[in-house]
Amino acid sequence: MYLGILYMALPGIISAVVVAALIITYLKRERIIGKLMIRFRSHYRVVRGGSGKSRTMLFNEEVLAVIAAIVVVFLVFLSFYPAISKYAIEPYAVIAYLGPNGTITGYPSTVYPGESINVSIYVYNGMGEPIWFVVRVYIANASLIEPPLNATPIVTIQRILLNNETWVQGITISINGTGNYRVFATLWMYDPNNLELKYLDTYTYLTLNVTS
């Protein structure tokens, strides 16, 4: 989440630094150009003649016009930045299990047949718009690598989340047999355009050893 915010703010930060550097360069233009003149024209000789008109590389009005144009472009960029940033970061959603202490640790790894297992499911909406999420929980053999699963979920929960909103829902599950299992929690959403349920290819799982 913080990385996404940084990516969104980075263009504005870079633009502000560039504008600040140009302003500082303009304010110190006489010193900068003077040093450059001394460096590159130190071998020149002074001669008489010429029209007597002063010649300078500063062109105050032109420099001010350039800086004003840059500032205008920067302000226009800021006005359109919210609309641009909406498409700059790829939408994403997060799902995870939380243990009894509200962190991603602390859930059991060894249980007895029929024992109640209390965990919480965490979902975060980073899709850029309100989303109707559905979480389906499955019990599968530990040898199964990843969903989707051709099985009936043991738990189904759902909720509409606003953008940048989180959802924590406690659930209770149990396993009657013995052996090694994985409890998958898969994340789905209803498409806002046609309300068709689709899998987001996002899941989390617990590995449990059920022993008597």
Tens-digit pLDDT profile for the chain (212 aa)? 444 555 555 566 776 676 667 667 666 666 766 666 666 555 656 555 555 555 554 455 555 656 666 776 666 566 655 555 554 568 999 999 998 777 877 888 899 999 999 999 999 999 999 999 999 999 998 887 788 888 899 999 999 999 999 999 999 999 998 999 999 999 999 998 888 999 999 999 999 999 98
Bridge partners (DSSP) listed for residue 180:
209
- Do 59 and 101 lie in one domain? The reply is no
Which pLDDT does position 102 carry in this prediction? 79
Strands (E), 48-178: 92-98, 110-111, 117-126, 131-141, 155-161, 166-173
Domain containing 142 equals 92-210
Q: Please give the tally of structural domains in the chain.
A: 2
Last residue of a domain, one of 24, 53, 88: 88
Q: In terms of pTM, does the model score above 0.85? A: no
Which pLDDT does position 24 carry in this prediction? 72
CATH number, domain with residue 139: 2.60.40.10
- Do 78 and 164 lie in one domain? The reply is no
What the block records as the tokens of 116 is: 């109640």
What the block records as the tokens of 93 is: 């959603």
Alpha helices by DSSP H, the chain: 2-27, 29-40, 60-88
- Do 177 and 203 lie in one domain? The reply is yes
The rounded distance, in Å, linking the Cα atoms of 125 and 166 is: 6
In this structure, the strands spanning 197-210 and 110-111 are parallel
Which residues make Cβ contacts (< 8 Å) with residue 184, sequence separation at least 6?
137, 138, 139, 140, 147, 149, 203, 204, 205
Last residue of a domain, one of 71, 88, 105: 88
- Do 102 and 170 lie in one domain? The reply is yes
- Do 107 and 200 lie in one domain? The reply is yes
